[in-house]
């Protein structure tokens, strides 16, 4: 009886309150602790029964945000369990019925302002595994006005690919790249994956003004409303890292690299040869940065059509990790749309707010200690970093992994949702 009253009370609440509540219950990670000390991450609340479950075992994200010791303690407790993720097969089944899937995940209720409607954002998502996480990223950046290109890997599992194709089928504004690469670590194929998406995005009907690229371990730190506000402030400029290369970095493009079989983790990698490369064509001055960007439509058109850009792309094909100097260099070419002038100082990863990455050797100096764990010197964020992540000013962060800390992702989702609603309500009232 009491439950019925509570439910009826909910229904009487304003529409948005209902939607928020529904998200909290349905969408966010619900964790069940089973007898064998495992927790199952269920981002979707696939059955109505989960309506009764407390979201994520009663974790209070506001208390996490406030760094309340009891709540942080609960999140650490959860991390000690065996965290079981939703597998690709479950995502395939869940997304097979688009109507039900979109309803359950609240895609139709995403509220946007007029500003957001007239400022569509394009996304290039280069992903290769963990469709549950890809879906959560999509949900966190989704509005009906934006456009999303997904590039999966030729090497991805059949189920992962099927899940991505289901997403394409469900949304008119989500599509799979028309050309799919077999992406090798630090190889031109990584850059080509983004370029394939960018080319498709340019020919889409959506008149986006800016494009942002993401990978499967990124997550937004800003709501769509905030992104649109920030993008408008860029005023036609690109935002990306672009610094003068160190002597060590220069080796990445002073010598030819060849893709070789390596016995460890990546299987194939570009390996340095003794063959020196010619300097870049057209007297291009080299800059280095990261694979991540926020680019204007005009700049992308330039990259796709300009001969200098084409020649430079070809030249970078046998360098090491060309994605980390292609964009950084092109952004400084005199006369490109949204140009960063060559004389301007370095744009570092702290100045460009594109992507927040925490390196373990800078922790304690440039930013607080990682509260999750490290993978290849990079922090995988933990729950205690929620506030710092949201307040730091970057637009996106890398890396997140629900197996390392499910609470940080759940709480980011919740806080972003909250912000989007508050911002929209403020605009209409």
Ligand X SMILES: *[C@@H]1O[C@H](CO)[C@@H](O)[C@H](O)[C@H]1NC(C)=O
Q: Is 68 in the site for ligand X (CB under 6 A)?
A: yes
Candidate ranges 61-69, 280-288, 348-356, 373-381; the one touching ligand X (CB under 6 A): 61-69
* Number of residues in contact with ligand X under rule CB under 6 A: 5
Q: Which residue in 71, 324, 413, 414 is the catalytic one? A: 324
Beta bridge partners of 234: none
For ligand X, the closer of residues 63 and 98 by Cβ is 63
Given a contact cutoff of 8 angstroms between Cβ atoms, the answer to whether 172 and 143 are in contact is: no
Q: How far is the CB of 371 from ligand X (least distance, A)?
A: 19
The full length of the chain comes to 429
53: three-class secondary structure by DSSP: coil
Piece of 16-24, 63-71, 202-210, 381-389 that binds ligand X (CB under 6 A): 63-71
Residue with tokens 């959560």: 136
Q: Considering the rule CB under 6 A, would residue 63 count as an interface residue with ligand X?
A: yes
Cβ pair 294, 242 in contact under 8 A: no
78/361 Cα distance (integer angstroms): 27
**Segment lying near ligand X (by CB under 6 A), choices 1-9, 58-66, 207-215, 305-313:** 58-66
Task: State which residue, 54 or 314, has the beta carbon closest to ligand X.
Answer: 54
The nearer residue to ligand X, 62 or 348, going by C-beta atoms, is 62
In the residue annotation, 324 being an active-site residue is answered as yes
Specify whether the CB–CB gap between 198 and 303 falls below 8 A.
yes
The least distance separating ligand X from the CB of residue 83, rounded to whole angstroms, comes to 23
Report d(CA 359, CA 374) in Å as an integer.
9
- Nearest approach in angstroms of CB 331 to ligand X is 43
Contacting range for ligand X; rule: CB under 6 A; set: 7-15, 56-64, 105-113, 388-396:
56-64
C-alpha distances in Å from residue 319, one per residue of 191, 272, 310, 326, 359: 12, 9, 15, 10, 24
Pick from 38, 47, 54, 62 the residue near ligand X by CB under 6 A.
Answer: 62
When binding is defined by CB under 6 A, the residue of 50, 60, 93, 184 that contacts ligand X is: 60
DSSP letter string over 69-82? HHHHHHHHHHHTSE
Cα(333)–Cα(248) distance, integer angstroms = 23
Strand partners, 124: 149, 213
CB of 412 to ligand X, least distance (A): 16
Q: Which residues bind ligand X (CB under 6 A)?
A: 60, 62-63, 66, 68
The catalytic site residues sit at 324
């Amino acid at each position: 009886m009491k439950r019925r009253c509570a439910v009826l009370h909910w229904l009487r609440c304003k529409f948005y309150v209902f939607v928020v509540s529904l998200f909290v219950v349905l969408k966010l990670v619900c964790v069940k602790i089973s007898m064998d000390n495992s927790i199952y991450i269920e981002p979707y609340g696939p059955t109505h029964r989960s309506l009764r479950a407390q979201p994520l075992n009663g974790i209070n994200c506001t208390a996490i945000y406030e760094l309340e010791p009891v709540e942080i303690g609960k999140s650490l407790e959860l991390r000690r369990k065996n965290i079981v993720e939703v597998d690709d097969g479950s995502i395939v089944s869940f997304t097979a019925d688009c109507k039900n899937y979109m309803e359950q995940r609240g895609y139709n209720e995403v509220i946007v302002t007029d500003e957001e409607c007239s400022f569509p954002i394009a996304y290039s998502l280069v992903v290769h595994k963990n469709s549950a996480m890809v879906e959560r990223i999509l949900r966190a950046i989704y509005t009906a006005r934006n456009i999303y290109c997904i590039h999966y890997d030729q090497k991805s599992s059949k189920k992962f690919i099927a899940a991505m194709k289901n997403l394409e089928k469900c949304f008119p504004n989500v599509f799979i790249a028309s050309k799919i690469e077999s992406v090798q670590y630090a190889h031109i194929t990584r850059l080509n994956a983004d370029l394939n998406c960018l080319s498709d995005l340019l020919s889409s009907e959506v008149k986006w003004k800016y494009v942002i690229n993401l990978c499967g371990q990124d997550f937004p730190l800003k709501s769509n409303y905030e992104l649109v506000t920030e993008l408008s402030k860029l005023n036609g400029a690109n935002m990306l890292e672009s610094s003068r290369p160190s002597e060590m970095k220069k080796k990445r493009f002073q010598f030819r690299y060849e893709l070789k079989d390596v016995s460890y983790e990546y299987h194939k990698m570009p390996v340095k040869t003794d063959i020196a490369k010619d300097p870049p064509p057209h007297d291009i001055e080299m800059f280095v940065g990261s694979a991540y960007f926020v680019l204007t439509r005009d700049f992308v058109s330039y990259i796709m059509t300009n001969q200098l850009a084409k020649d430079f792309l070809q030249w970078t094909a046998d360098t090491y990790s060309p994605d980390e100097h292609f964009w950084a260099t092109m952004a400084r070419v005199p006369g490109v749309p949204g140009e960063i002038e060559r004389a301007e100082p370095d744009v570092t990863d702290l100045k460009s707010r594109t992507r927040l990455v925490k390196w373990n050797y800078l922790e304690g100096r440039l930013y607080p200690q990682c509260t999750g764990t490290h993978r290849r010197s990079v922090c995988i964020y933990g729950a205690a970093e929620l506030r710092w992540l949201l307040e730091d000013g970057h637009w996106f962060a890398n890396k997140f992994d629900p197996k390392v800390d499910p609470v940080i992702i759940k709480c980011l989702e919740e806080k972003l949702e909250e912000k989007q609603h508050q911002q929209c309500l403020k605009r209409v009232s």
